Structures are given as C-alpha cells and as structure tokens.
C-alpha cells in the first residue's frame, strides 16, 4: 500500500532493501541495519576498508598552475634552442603535428630561446631558471618529470584531463576519487578542500573541476574562499543561534530518514551527511583559517603575502594547516600562466607570486616531519611551444599551447628527491625518453596512496569507471623504493645532452 509523505511519495519500484529488512523476519534485519548505520559517521564513509598495499602518502597537496607554465623557461634547460633563436622550426621535428588555431596559420615558426639564465642546484645538480630562486633551493627534494604529455591542446579539455582523467566533463575529480576510496581522517572537516587564488584573470576555473561527477555528491570538493565567510552559507544567518540550527537539522534529518525508508536514494544519505558536516565545520573552519598563532619565522618563510587571505601564499599556509588536521586532498589553483605574449614579464610575475610559497610549503612540511607522508605536486595542464606565437621581436614574444611535452614536479610522499625523470629533444618539442602520460601520473599518484588504480572503480550506467579509465601504468622509477642510477645521471645533465 502506498503512503504519501510530506517529503515525497513512496517509491513506485516496490519495496526497498531497507523496507524488506524492516517488514520481514520480525524486523530483526532492520534493527541490525540500523545498528550498523548508526555506528558509522558520515566521515567514515569510504569504499576501501584498507589500502590495497602499504601507502607511502597519506594526503596530497596539488598546486595546480592553470594556463600551462612554459617548461623551457622554468625547468627544462635548452641551450641549443637558445643558440638557434630566430631560426625556423624544422619540419623534421614538427612532423606535421596538430597546432592550435592561434598559431596553426602562421607562415613561419621562429624558434624562441628562453630569455632567462639557467644554473644547476643542490647535490643533484638539477637545472632551474633564474626565476625560481626559492624552488631551486629545495632541488634535492624534488622529482621533476620533464616528459609529461597529454592529448588536450586547449585549456578546458586540458585542465579537465589533469583533474579528472578525461577531457570530457562529467567524470569525478582526483580528490573525489580519493574521498570515495579512503574517506577522511577528521570528521569535522571535508576530505577534499579547494582554494583558488583571488583576483587572477586567465581561463575560468569552474566547480566541475572539483566535482564528484557520477559519484555521490558528498565526495565533491569544498571550496574555501577569502573573506569573512570561507565557506558560502556555512554561518548562521542573523537571528539563528547554533542551538537553533542544531534543532532544525535534527528535524530535517528526521524527514530525510523517512524518505530513505521509502526509497533508499544514496543522494538523500549524501545530503544528510553534508548537513551534518556543515554543522561541524561551523567550529572547525574558523579555527583552521586563523593563522594568528603561527610564529613569525613561519610567516616569514612563506612570504609577505601570507597575511593576504586568498593569495597563493596564504593558500599554501592554509594547505599545510589543513593537512595537519587530516584533510586527504588539498587542491590549490593559481591561474595566469597563459603567456601567448609578453612571456618574459608574465613568467617573472607568476614566479614572483608562487616561487617562495611553493618552496616554503615543502620546507615547512619537512621540518614538521610531514613531508614523508605528504605528496606535493606542482604543474599545469600542458606546456608551451619552443617557437614564437606570432612575430619574434627579440626577447619579447609569446608561446602557444603544447601538449606533447611539459614539466611537473612532485615532492615527498614516497617519491625520489633530486631526480629529473624523462627528457625532451634538443628544442623541447617532442619527448625523447621515458614518456609519462597523464594516466600514468594518476596511476602513480594512487599507488603512492596505497591504491591499485585498476581496483578503485565505480559502476555507472553499466560500466565500471576509474580515474585512469582503461589506461595508466605506474612509473616505478619515480618511487623511492626503486632507485635507478640512470635517473640520477639524467638529473645532472641538460635535457638536450
């Protein structure tokens, strides 16, 4: 018999599993189910009881540099490109490969050497541009992958690919997969937090990039903003006390439970858990956002913008504080790396905003004993061309998008430090050795977190989906447990050698 509820009608598909347990066998199954559910908080919701193998990393801080940083102006030293500045890109190098519409119709492709000086740093002798004085000081902590590649040639598909494993919108983001698989270590904070540098132009960064896709919505990222309300709609409106909010939530959850009894919709369960998390966050978010008790030497380590909420510097410090409190995946976005023109000034400006804070984060984690089990990632969606977009006017030029090779670095969390992995040709146009696809990067990241990328799956519309789709292989040479003498040799040589 159907019964009407104020929150909707009973499911037309008959009895749910919960109703069967409640109505048959004297309801003992329902009692058992209720006991099981009540003993599990929303924060404990995860698909894996334990990792597939021992994890090296417990958490990830991903410093995503949106726009496509120019690898040959930061990490991938190309002296031959500098020597051939102004010469034409040989067709034997390009091989008719696809270009964007912004430079594909150019009548010529003049090579553009980097306007910046490069030098070697650390015992590992890794190469860095002069624009990265602070990052170069932690050279021996970094594993720089110089042979990353992707198929995406434009920003939207490129960022989506790095963040979800697919160029097409609708897939779960990396943080959502980790929340789904591992849950959180702190029930008072989300397992997946997002921060975007304020007041930056560039390509739009939309919420689907940290969305849960077809996973339950409780696994989506929660964005922390600058200002008095770090999380929108979290604080009580005027006239509503915390006790009043608690009573309202209790009554609302009763209604949702009635609906779940009638129709066991996972999204209703997600909504309940999100309401409860939001209530707990009313106390936890103000505490984690308050840096007034941070010592002066730590604030000085991060730089002068650390007291400017919403800046990349402030967000890096917040990332460390969130990591300390058990947040599983912390995603920072810093736009502005899309230098189609004005390359020299644009790179200097971007590095001025990110260099010190990025290095400070790694240093801060290390001195607290957290770097060993925290994986820090720095990189964008693709690289830049070795040729000039438009006319080459001395050192004043720009670079177009280039998906065939780009650089990305990782630190801590079980990766080998002081290593440059992979190489590109002498002009920086194609990968020459040890290519690492985006799917391989994702597979390796999950491996460091103790997850077999082929076994973390979700069935949707008749198919078993995963972050790496049907691809991906672990790059074992990057892992601290599998040393490679060849890698150490590569790290001491220019990529063109």
In the numeric block, which tokens belong to residue 85?
């500045």
Contacts of 233 (CB under 8 A, 6+ apart): none
Which of 429, 402, 387, 391 shows the shortest CA–CA distance to 88?
Answer: 387
Extract the residue ranges of the chain whose pLDDT is less than 50.
Answer: 1-13, 31, 33-44, 482-497
Per-residue confidence (pLDDT) for residue 27, from 0 to 100: 53
Taken in order 242, 243, 248, 252, the sign of the CA dihedral is positive
Using N-to-C axis directions, what is the helix angle for 343-367 and 312-324, rounded to 10°? 20
Cβ proximity of 322 and 192 under 8 Å: no
Per-residue confidence (pLDDT) for residue 5, from 0 to 100: 46
Task: Give the 3-state secondary structure of 90-144.
Answer: CHHHHCCCCCCCCCCCCCCCEECCCCCCEEEECCCCEEEECCCHHHHCCHHHEEE
Predicted TM-score (pTM) of the model is: 0.84
Per-residue confidence (pLDDT) for residue 236, from 0 to 100: 65
Which of 420, 478, 417, 471 shows the shortest CA–CA distance to 445?
Answer: 478
Taken in order 78, 81, 82, 83, the sign of the CA dihedral is positive
Per-residue confidence (pLDDT) for residue 121, from 0 to 100: 98
Per-residue confidence (pLDDT) for residue 264, from 0 to 100: 66
Identify the H or E element spanning 409.
strand 406-411
Per-residue confidence (pLDDT) for residue 244, from 0 to 100: 73
Per-residue confidence (pLDDT) for residue 47, from 0 to 100: 87
Distance in angstroms (rounded) separating the CA atoms of residues 296 and 372: 25
pLDDT tens per residue, range 74-110: 999 999 999 999 999 999 999 888 898 898 889 899 9
Per-residue confidence (pLDDT) for residue 95, from 0 to 100: 87
Per-residue confidence (pLDDT) for residue 204, from 0 to 100: 87
Per-residue confidence (pLDDT) for residue 194, from 0 to 100: 97
């Amino acid at each position: 018999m159907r019964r009407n509820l104020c929150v909707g009608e009973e499911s037309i598909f008959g009895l749910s599993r919960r109703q069967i347990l409640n109505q048959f066998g004297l309801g003992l199954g329902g009692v058992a189910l209720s006991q099981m559910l009540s003993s599990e908080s929303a924060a404990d919701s995860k698909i894996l009881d334990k990792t597939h193998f021992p994890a090296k990393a417990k958490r990830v801080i991903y410093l995503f540099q949106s726009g496509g940083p120019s690898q040959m102006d930061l990490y991938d030293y190309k002296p031959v490109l500098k020597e051939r500045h102004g010469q034409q890109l040989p067709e034997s190098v390009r091989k008719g490969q696809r270009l964007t519409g912004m430079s594909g119709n150019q009548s010529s492709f003049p090579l553009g050497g980097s306007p910046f000086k490069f030098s070697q740093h650390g015992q590992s002798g890794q190469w860095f541009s002069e624009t990265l004085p602070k990052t170069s000081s932690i050279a021996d902590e970094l594993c720089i992958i110089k042979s990353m590649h992707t198929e995406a040639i434009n920003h939207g598909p490129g960022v989506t690919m790095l963040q979800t494993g697919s160029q097409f919108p609708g897939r779960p983001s990396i943080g959502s997969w980790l929340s789904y698989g591992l849950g959180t270590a702190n029930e008072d904070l989300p397992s997946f937090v997002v921060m975007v540098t304020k007041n930056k132009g560039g390509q739009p960064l939309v919420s689907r990039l940290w969305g849960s896709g077809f996973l339950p919505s409780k696994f989506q990222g929660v964005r922390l903003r600058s200002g008095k309300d770090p999380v929108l709609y979290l604080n009580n409106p005027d006239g509503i006390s915390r006790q009043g909010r608690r009573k309202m939530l209790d009554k609302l959850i009763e209604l949702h439970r009635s609906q779940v009894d009638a129709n066991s919709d996972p999204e209703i369960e997600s909504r309940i858990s999100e309401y409860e998390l939001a209530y707990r966050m009313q106390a936890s978010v103000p505490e984690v956002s308050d840096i007034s008790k941070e010592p002066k030497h730590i604030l000085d380590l991060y730089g002068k913008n650390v007291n400017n909420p919403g800046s990349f510097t402030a967000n890096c410090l917040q990332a460390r504080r969130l990591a300390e409190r058990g947040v599983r995946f912390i995603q920072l976005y810093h736009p502005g790396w899309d230098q189609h023109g004005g390359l020299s000034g644009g790179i200097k400006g971007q590095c001025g905003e990110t260099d010190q804070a990025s290095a400070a984060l790694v240093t801060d984690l290390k001195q607290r004993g957290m770097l060993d089990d925290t994986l820090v990632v720095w990189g964008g969606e693709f690289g830049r061309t070795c040729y000039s977009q438009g006319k080459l006017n001395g050192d004043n030029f720009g670079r177009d998008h280039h998906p065939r090779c780009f650089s990305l670095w990782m630190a801590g969390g079980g990766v080998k430090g002081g290593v440059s992995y992979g190489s590109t040709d002498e002009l920086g146009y194609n990968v020459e050795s040890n290519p690492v696809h985006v799917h391989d990067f994702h597979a390796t990241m999950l491996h460091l977190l103790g997850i077999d990328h082929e076994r973390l799956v979700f069935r949707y519309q008749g198919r078993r989906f995963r972050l790496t789709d049907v691809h991906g292989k672990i790059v074992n040479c990057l892992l601290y447990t599998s040393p490679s003498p060849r890698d150490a040799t590569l790290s001491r040589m220019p990529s063109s050698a």
